[in-house]
Every structure is written in C-alpha cells, then in structure tokens.
Amino acid sequence: MLIIELIAPLALTCLLGFFIANQRLLTAKQLAFINKITFHYLIPLFLFHKMATANIQQQFDWRYFACFYLPVLLCYALAWIINYHCHRELKGNASAAGVFALTASYSNTVIIGLPILYALLGDKAIGIIFMIITFHSALLFTITTSFSNTTETLSVWQKLTQQMTKNTLVVAILSGLIVNLSPIRVPDGVSEVINLLSWPTITLALLLLGTSLSQYKLSQQKHFITLATLFKLVLLPTLVYFFANHLFQLPNEITTILVILSASPTGVNAYLIASSQQLHRETSAGTVVFSSLCSIVTLSLWLIILD
C-alpha cells in the first residue's frame, strides 16, 4: 500500500498534465511560459536551496559514484555497440549509435527520481542525490556529442565544461554546493522566501512532464524503442543494484537512492539531443513515452525489491 501511495500521486499528476495538453486547456504560449518559469527559475532555485542547506559533510563516498556511473557507462557502451552493428538503416553511424546509447541510459533523475526519493526518504537523501546527478547530464551529453559529425574542434574537457555551464540545473546544484562548503549560510528569512517560491516545483515539473509526453508519438522503430526501454528500466538498475548491494555492499538506503535514480525513465533531454543531431528522433521520442509509461510498473517493482 505504501508503494501505491507513493507512486500513484506522481503518476496521476503526470496524467493530469497529459490531459491538460491533450484537451488544450492551456494554450501553447501559456504552457511555454509555465515551462520557462519552472525549469529556468523555480527548479534551479529549489535545487540550489536544497544543496546549499543539505548535510553533505559525512555523505561523500567515491563508491556511490562508482556504483552509479560504472553501470551507466557499461549500459551506454553496450547500447552503442548494438546500434552501431545491428541497426539496419544507421549501421556504422557512430553519431546515431551515440544518440541511441544516450536514449537507453539517460535517466529522468530530477523530475521522476527526485520526487520519489524525496517522498520516500525526505531531506536526508538530498545531499547524496544531488551529488550523484550533478554530473549526469554533463557526462552523457559530452560523450554523445563527442561522436557527433559536426566540425567543432573542442576537446572532451571543453565540451564537458560547456555542458556543465550551459545546464541551469547543474549550475544551480554546483552553486549550492559551493555555498554549502563555504562559511556562507543562507539567512533564515531568505530561506523561508525560497521555500515559499519553490514549494510547487515538483508538482509543476510532473505536470509539465505529462504535457510534454502528449507531444510525442510511438514511432515505427518499435524494436529499438523496446530495446532502449529494457536497457533503461531493467538492465541499468539491475547493474546498479548488483554493484551497490553485492559488489560494494552499500547500506540499503544508499542502494535505494542509486537504484531509483537509475531506474527512472528516459529523460526528455535525450530527445532534444536527438533532434539537434537529426538522428533517432522517433526512437528517442518513443522511448521517452514508452519508458515513462512502463516505469509506473517497474519503479513499483524496484521499490518492492529494495524494501
């Protein structure tokens, strides 16, 4: 019952967003305005404040990063190899293989993983969650763009720096981390104002996820959509669970955080990368939709396994 009570409100909020967009209860301009306010201001403010005030002094451990990022890189590499050698139309295309690998390994950590863990564990998990997801987008986007056929001559480190400085969510988390580790403290009055401004953040993010899913359709690439979804919702969290629970034998709470973050469905930003490179757009969009729908079941199963 606890798991149903945890997942159901999140799923229903996404469904409400889908209904709002599908029935055109809000115009495209209104949704664009809400999206800008939420993702450019409210979510960064929420992430900054939570990171700045989190208790992270005793929470850093290199094993957490190893248990999350080694499986992510393994999953990415395997998906890249399969697409590079087996895709009928895009066989031998390194850029397309990179986009598919991103689709199969990039988690919606902020909009899906964070709300579930926040509801399950509260503020005590915030520090670890943010430390893990800080480099998530930057790392995978940098690897993917490194396979791109563009004429850019930037080094991998330059691309990584560019990705981190362009991503407002990453900038917000890193800024909060700097404040957290410095003698600076957020005044109580300012903290209260930030809490008031950011309290609807998670709800709005879930609503907007639902509205964005209404824009995408499942394409003809059903086999690769299914494969990417299996990688994302089954293979990746299974590898993370093996690394965390068996290889490094981390505490159950830490294992739960890492597995739920990795078991979150494919993030919408993977589709944006696919669109920018004009590769696997249908596959990426279909995987965002299909993995988001399937994650209602798979995340519930993972919570049962981890309980």
**For the segment 46-81, what is each residue's pLDDT rounded down to a tens digit?**
888 877 877 766 567 889 999 999 999 999 999 999
The predicted pLDDT at position 151 comes to 46
Q: What CA–CA distance (Å, rounded) separates 226 from 216?
A: 16
Q: For residue 137, which of 270, 4, 281 has the smallest C-alpha distance?
A: 270
Find residue 266's DSSP bridge partners: 107
Mean pLDDT of the chain: 84
Q: What percent of the chain has pLDDT over 90?
A: 30
> What residue type is 184 in one-letter code?
I
- 94/209: higher pLDDT: 94
Cβ within 8 Å of residue 201, ≥6 positions away: 38, 42, 43, 45, 46
The predicted pLDDT at position 176 comes to 83
The predicted pLDDT at position 244 comes to 96
**Whole-structure pTM value:** 0.82
**For the segment 233-279, what is each residue's pLDDT rounded down to a tens digit?**
999 999 999 999 999 999 999 999 999 999 999 988 888 788 778 88
**For the segment 203-224, what is each residue's pLDDT rounded down to a tens digit?**
888 888 888 777 766 666 788 8
The predicted pLDDT at position 293 comes to 86
Q: What CA–CA distance (Å, rounded) separates 47 from 191?
A: 13
The predicted pLDDT at position 162 comes to 63
CATH number for domain 29-306, candidates 1.10.3720.10, 1.20.1530.20, 3.40.190.10, 2.60.120.200: 1.20.1530.20
The answer to whether 21 touches 93, Cβ cutoff 8 Å, is no
- 191/71: higher pLDDT: 71
The predicted pLDDT at position 160 comes to 57
Tell me: pLDDT of 124 over 60. Answer: yes
> What residue type is 204 in one-letter code?
L
DSSP string across 186-216: --HHHHHHHHHHHTTHHHHHHHHHHHHHTT-
Give the CA dihedral 6, 113, 102, 45, nearest 10 degrees: 140
Find residue 298's DSSP bridge partners: none
Q: For residue 114, which of 34, 52, 202, 38 has the smallest C-alpha distance?
A: 202
Burial class for 6, CB neighbours closer than 10 Å (0-12, 13-18, 19+): middle
